[in-house]
Homo-oligomer: A and B are copies of this chain.
């Protein structure tokens, strides 16, 4: 069926979008994103129907990326909180732009409520690994989603500090888990 679409190009566009949004915010022009991806402006629209569609797919892609990095190899361990945390923080330190872009997309209204919900669903994979810790702790009576959200909030805060004060990153990282641990125990 004629010329097939190229995954490479699709990925190049997504990667270029991360760079562009990191620098210019969500108002980054599609023309710039396309150019930075080495693709004509028109081609961007054969891979993504509209700019909003690009943003939605980018959002989900980044969430998946983050969750995959954080949960890597953790699934079968007996004590999961610390390895999970350390993977998660490492991802944040290595890909600060991805995180910044994710944050912008999350609050913007470029993304529908449905897409946002799918994003939260992806996050559940990550928080599910806390299951055992949660089941017997102080928050066993509070709704699961609430616990998940608080975990996420503490993680995000910790990441902010690790990035803004790299000299004490290790210290902030520990302060983060310990605070979380105290909260869940």
* Chain A residues engaging chain B, CB cutoff 8 angstroms: 24-25, 103-104, 107-110, 138-139, 142-143, 145-146, 149-150, 152-154, 156-157, 160-161, 168, 171-172, 175, 178-180, 182-183, 185
Contact = CB atoms under 8 A, between A and B. Distances in A.
A109 B24 CA distance: 8
Contacts of A110: 25
A52 to B, nearest CB: 12
A139 B183 contact: no
A108 B171 CA distance: 28
A8 B170 CA distance: 50
A148 to B, nearest CB: 10
A109 B175 contact: no
B104 A179 contact: no
Given A25-B109, A104-B107, A146-B157, 10 more contacts: A24-B109, A103-B107, A104-B108, A107-B107, A138-B182, A150-B179, A153-B153, A182-B182, A182-B183, A182-B185
A168 to B, nearest CB: 8
Which residue among A25, A104, A142, A161 has the maximum number of chain B CB atoms within 10 Å of its CB?
A142
